[in-house]
Structure 1
Amino acid sequence: MFPWQEECLDIWFDKGGKGIVNVVTGAGKTVLALGAVARLENRLAVEQAGALKIKIVVPKVFLAHQWARNLHEELAVPPNDIGFYCGTQKDRPTRKYMIYVVNSARYALSGHVLADYQNGSPVLLIADECHHYSSPENSRIFDFIAQLSPRDPAPAYYALGLSATPETAAFNEILVPALGPEIFRYGFAEALNAKIISSFAIFNVKLQFTPAEAQQYQDLSEQLTRVLENLLHRCPFLLGLKRPRFFARLEQLVREPEDDETAALAASLLGLAGRRKEVVYRAESRQSCVRDLLTRMPPSSRVLIFSERIGMADALYEELKWLFPGQVGCYHSDMEDWRRKNILRKYQEGEIRILVACRALDEGLNVPATDIGIIAAATSSNRQRIQRLGRILRSADQKRMAILYYLYIGSSNEEQDLVAGISRDLTGIIPVLDLAYDLNSRTFAHAAYQALVDLVLAYACRKGWKGEAIGEIGRNLERGKLSCDWWLSEQECRLKSRSASSRSERNYWLSMRLLVQAGLGRLPE
């Protein structure tokens, strides 16, 4: 294991084998949990180790099968020792390893844990993506906690919560009593510095409304402001509430009205906010920008595209499959289960290289070969954005830098930074860059990059290079605008130019080297 995993397990055992681990996607949460299983069995007495029951809870079916593969491949667990409890497959819960999907676990897991406990078996509960389990329905998996007594001489209960974003509104009320407190945190900066995950870059891409969309957005915003003023006058307790709590209270006012006029105002506000959000999500520039990004990417790139609406995902898929025949798939919850499984298999095995998805892929999918993520539209959830960033992170031995493009409408209320907190933490460690996309010219602008391009082209003219050479440099620098190759060192660019497999590739890296030299203020005389 990595040193952080060893350190984390030492802390976990010091805390009595309970706790929540907050670790960035790609750093090895699953291996940590498998290490906990192995070390716990070694620490328990022989008769207790043999009786140990491991319960693993996941939010989605494909994660259950991922865990089963990991148990078999990493711990050599025989398939017959692994049971599933999800959908129509509900194995007898007497197997040593039981993997539950939370929708099925709500009404069964608690009873299964108590039965094992009462039969003299120690229990280890692994809650993967544990932030899912604090809702009123899902938290029923922890009903057994109330029946465990710390003075009971029966075998022990162990728990390990895993998540890159464990904080929830009910974190202290639900997750901490069931799983233990947060005992360890390992973020992007630590994983990058330890070279556990590959370097990555974030491009915040500013989009435009069309004139008609801008007018529609403005009209809805003015209506929304008037309704909000009237509602706040009647309900001053709404002032100061953060966005999720504010909208939750609006929904409550509609469901449980204090009076008809307040309910009507709350319903009107929700409706206007939804319509305005649709204008933002359906902006013409989103689909156009995705298309133009992909046409400028290397043809070998493996790409995940995230959308917020199934209709938008389908529209992107229909357009892209004609541009890149045989290379594109679509994945969302409206598709039949067998089709989703087939598309995932094709992407994971490299039969297709572009996958358009909705929220169904926000968590857990192992796609270690993905180069590029495009968030075509996003909610305001910081958790969702971090999870989507995690989908493109890979182990550090895979050399190509991963890139995430986050698309937002500049003249709307959409946030202009993918994950502001992460961007601040990683300033100077990774590129966090701003692009602007012009719908009319279908071009991308990057002010800092263009300033360096101008320096290089002016330098080439001063040196009296031929027009053909200057044109080649200009084309290469335009190609490099959407990458972060200009963040490499002179030495790295020199090595890449020497090992290039073609003349055009060699010329590209020579151009990048000039750009790097311009940025350092040392273009050769």
Structure 2
Amino acid sequence: MWELARSGLRQLLAARPGQTKHDLLPALLRSGFSGLTASDVNRLLYGDRSAFTHDGSALPRWRLNSAEHVTHGTYAGPQPRAWQIEALAAWNAAGRRGIVEAVTGTGKTTVGVLAAAEAVDRGERVLVLVPGRELLDQWHEILQRELRTVRVGRLTSGHDDSFLTHSVLVATVQTAARCSVFPIGRAGLLIADEVHRYGARTYAMALDNRFEARLGLTATYAREDNGLDEHLKPYFGDVVARCSYERGLADGILAPFRVAFVETAFRPDERALYEECDQRVRALRHRLVVQHGCPPEPFGEFLAEVARLGHGGHIATRDARRYLNAFSERRQLLANCAGKYDALERLVPATRASDRGLVFGETKECATDVAEILRRHGVEAHALTSEMPSPVRRKVLTSFKNGEIRMIAAPRLLDEGIDVPEADLGIVFAASRSRRQMIQRMGRVIRPKRDGRPATFVVLFVGGTSEDPEFGAHADFVDELIGVAEDVSVFRSNTSGQELLDWYGTGSWERAQ
């Protein structure tokens, strides 16, 4: 009974760390361990300090010990963090199904590697799904390094490995959706990285129901359509573990950080174009909802239906196409506002003072222009785009890591997935309405710094538009930051470059009105 009770304690603390013996006892009794006392719980906890640790308070609050991890079998990776051990235990306790949500930089990949190691030790095959080639190569490299005795293969263009010769396969979701990748005659585990992406119908086709064990990994479990409820929850189940900003900061996994919203302004001609375009977007959206039956919410479902109508053959096709054109034109006006390039020049002194930084743009043209402006001001910068051959991208990232390049400007390539060397400054040139995208971008700069300095995240926005925080932009994102960021400030368009540099250099970011 004692070993079963100890296992029960592990499951309880994996699901909810920080419980006292008085919290744990009734939960164990409800689970069928009749006759246990608080003294018995204490004896179990203190008797296995390799598994359990507490906070040292008068009435100790217990959690799983991060020092207890796989020391046998196939896993040969680094020491897992406490939250990773807890997440793996919570997933096992949920029947080996569920989602693990952990903000970028906290190490969600390690949870997947640990789960894969456990599965291989059980004699199972493991399929790891990723949304792109960069992530496929990244996962393949990590798995080969940390599961040294395991044959790890790849399944994508240029690689045709299979479960006949490999215990673990890493496949792009596009490939897995086209062909069956199930290990015939064996139990299997499916791990889906960036699992929020698979809420799309075409990607959901890769989620093979024959895999009994299922683990989804994501930094932000959110979509703007109904994909979570329609595809992901039925397949994976619920979120079983999280690592939030609060946990990451408390455990020293994330660097302390500051966030600034820096206002820019349209030129008169840009403002006129924006207002005309915005009026068209609003009028056409109203018509598509009222006259053509498009769902008003969630926005992703509305946009998907408009895109379907835009393919032709419908009475609403003309309105759908006009809406999509106006919507794209409005987004481009915001993304390429001349005032943002002016604001970037005001931020040049801060970029010089930073160790290394990233600029997130909307297009490859924007990334190229940003890099050119920074180089013109003496900051060694380089654009990074998906059109570049992989060896060239790797060379740019290596130069960035070595400090030969100080700033990288990229469109959506850096938003999720690929590992980026340490940076302490992030500038969002083209803001996104997506909380998920903003959090993933911020995650690129909030890894701990060797000298303990805070990370800085700067969001450029056009005042008086849908990007303006005063108009409700980024509300969910800002709400999540309040209470964990060292500072969240708004700087108006008349803020000088010297003021921004003073704020960046001293940490006393005074709100400019």
What TM-score do the two structures reach when normalised by structure 2?
Answer: 0.75
Shift in Å at residue 362 of structure 1?
Answer: 0.8
- Is 1:379 paired with 2:432? yes
- Aligned 1:142-157 pairs, distance under 5 A: 142=207, 144-145=208-209, 148=210, 157=212
Q: CA–CA distance in 2 between the matches of 1:285 and 1:397?
A: 35
Deviation at 1:34, TM superposition (A): 2.0
**Cα distance between partner residues in 2 of 1:287 and 1:381:** 22
Closer/same/farther in 2, CA of residues 375 and 258 from structure 1, 3 Å limit: same
Q: 1:124 aligns with which of 189, 212, 218?
A: 189
- Is 1:17 aligned to 2:96, yes or no? yes
Offset at residue 126 of structure 1 (A): 1.4
How far residue 132 of structure 1 moved from its aligned partner, in angstroms, is 1.6
Distance between the aligned counterparts of 2:253 and 2:282, measured in 1?
Answer: 48
SS at match of 2:508: helix
In 1, Cα distance between equivalents of 2:158 and 2:285: 47
2:218 is aligned with 1:163: yes
Q: Is structure 2 residue 405 aligned with structure 1 residue 405?
A: no
User: Based on CA coordinates, which of the two structures has the bigger radius of gyration?
Assistant: 1
The equivalent of 1:217 in structure 2 is 274
Structure 1 position 230, deviation (Å) = 5.6
Partner of 2:181: 112
Instruction: Return the match for 2:504 from 469, 482, 485.
Output: 482
Q: Contact conserved, 1:22 with 1:164, CA < 8 A, in 2?
A: yes
Aligned equivalents of 2:307, 2:116: Cα separation in 1: 43
Query: Retained in 1: the 8 A contact 2:367–2:411?
Result: yes
Q: Match of 1:205?
A: 262
Matches within 5 A, 1:224-373: 224-225=281-282, 227=284, 234-235=291-292, 237-238=293-294, 240-256=296-312, 258-259=314-315, 262-324=316-378, 327-373=380-426
Match among 65, 70, 75 for residue 137 of structure 2: 65
Corresponding residue to 2:169 among 92, 98, 107: 98
Higher helix share: 1
**1:479, distance to aligned residue in structure 2 (A):** 3.4
Q: 1:102 to 1:398 in 2, by over 3 A?
A: farther
1:180 is matched with: 237
Q: Distance in 1 between matches of 2:407 and 2:171?
A: 30
What is the TM-score when the length of structure 1 is the normalising length?
0.74
When residues 238 and 140 of structure 1 are mapped into structure 2, their CA distance, relative to the original with a 3 A threshold, is closer
Task: Choose which of 32, 48, 51 in structure 1 pairs with 2:111.
Answer: 32
Shift of 1:187: 1.5
Q: Deviation digits for residues 169-199 of structure 1, max 9, x if unmatched? A: 2223322333333212221122222322111
What count of residue pairs does the alignment treat as equivalent?
425
For residue 83 of structure 1, what is the amino acid of its counterpart? G
1:8 aligns with 2:87: yes
Return 225-234 or 363-372, whichever deviates more.
Answer: 225-234
In the alignment, which residue of structure 1 is the partner of 2:205? Answer: 140
C-alpha distance 384-486 of structure 1, shift in aligned 2 (>3 A): same
For 2:128 and 2:288, the matched residues in 1 are separated by: 46
Q: CA 1:227–1:160 in 2, change beyond 3 Å: closer, same or farther?
A: closer
| Cα shift at 1:315 | 1.7
One-letter identity of the residue aligned with 2:115: A
Q: Any gaps of 5 or more consecutive residues in structure 2?
A: 1-79
CA–CA distance in structure 2, aligned partners of residues 31 and 412 of structure 1? 41
> SS at 1:333's partner residue?
coil
Task: Give 1:478 deviation, angstroms.
Answer: 6.5
Distance 2:460 2:453 in 1: 22
Gapped runs of 5+ residues in structure 1?
A: 149-155, 445-474, 488-514, 516-525
1:199 is aligned with what amino acid?
Answer: P
